[in-house]
Structures are given as structure tokens and as C-alpha cells.
Amino acid sequence: MRVLGIDPGLTRCGVGIVDVTATRTATLVDVVVIRSGAELPLEQRLLLVGNEIERLLDLHQPHAVAIERVFAQQNLTTVMGVAQISGVALHLAAKRGLVVGLHTPSEVKSAITGYGSADKKQVATMVAKVLGLAEVPKPADASDALAIAICHAWKRGAAVASPGGSLTKAQETWLAAERSAAKSPPKRRLGS
């Protein structure tokens, strides 16, 4: 399964592409940090980042796209930039009919390090170890994007989107639970 992971950001957007086998072995395909200058108008920054994500999608032909889920922060400007780039990435993936996974930072940290509150250095070190790299990917946006891609493949089961792939019993159970949860109507709260 090939996954394109995105650590969304307006100034720096990390994009990491990995191949992951059904046995969870991950291999680096490519990693890029897309940069857009604050001096550019917003629409030009979104276009620049979007065009580069589109180029990488076309070049690497992933089976799925994984994006870090927007979470609350004190800095509204940062949240807006992350949300805008996430929207561009979601649009590009949907145009291609790709499976998209949104993963919280703690979910990614937990998948990669086993600890949901790991720091960036711990995540980067484990990404390098998982991918068999001699050095930690830099800057942090690069290692974060790779971690997001690996998390998605491990969570979904690398065989889910792989042609001819087969799932383990645990992966089948996980996938069935996800599908069941998606079909269930939301539970109402008392008084609502």
C-alpha cells in the first residue's frame, strides 16, 4: 500500500510518501517540504502548495492520503492555514477517488512511538528507525508527514487498499468495527 501523508501548513507543508507491506514493513518513497512565503497573497500560497501536492499525487500514484487532523490551538492564524491546506489536500484526493484518513497528532504519536504524548524528536527518531534511514528526516514537517503516512497504513492495514492483498484477522475486525461505526446513527443525548 502506498500512502501519501500530509502535515498541513501554509508556510511549511510536509508531504511524505511511503510503501507499507501487509507485514507493516515501511519503505521511504519520497519526502518533500513545500514552502510558501508570507509575502504572497493567500490565494497564491494555496495555489503553490496545492500544485505541489497535485504533482506529488500524479508522480507517486498513492492508494490513500493521510492528513493530520486540525486541532484547537491558541494561534488562530496557524489553525486557519492548516485548515485551508487540509481543504486543498482533501479536494485533490477526492478528485482522484482516493481513500483519505484524518489522524490526530496523539494518534500518530501513539502509532509511531507507542506514546501519545511523545515529542517531535521521539517521533522523528522512530520514523527513521521504522524506515531504516541513517538520519532523522528534517525539518520536523518532513518526519511528521512520514509518521502520518505510516500511522494510516498501520491503522488501516496495509492490505486494505493493496490490489490482491489479504487482511489479518485483527485487521478484518478493526475494519468491520470502523464500517459499523460509520453506518450507526449518532446517539442522542438526553434533553436534546
Catalytic positions, written as ranges? 7, 68, 141
Query: Shortest CA distance to 149 belongs to which of 13, 16, 14?
Result: 16
Supply the DSSP symbol for 70.
Answer: P
CB-CB neighbours of 22 under 10 Å: 17
Largest CA distance in the chain: 57
Query: Shortest CA distance to 68 belongs to which of 144, 120, 128, 2?
Result: 144
Residues 6+ apart with CB under 8 A from 29: 2, 17, 18, 19, 60
What residues form DSSP beta bridges with 30? 17
Q: Where are the alpha helices (DSSP H) in the chain?
A: 42-60, 76-95, 105-113, 120-131, 140-156, 169-183
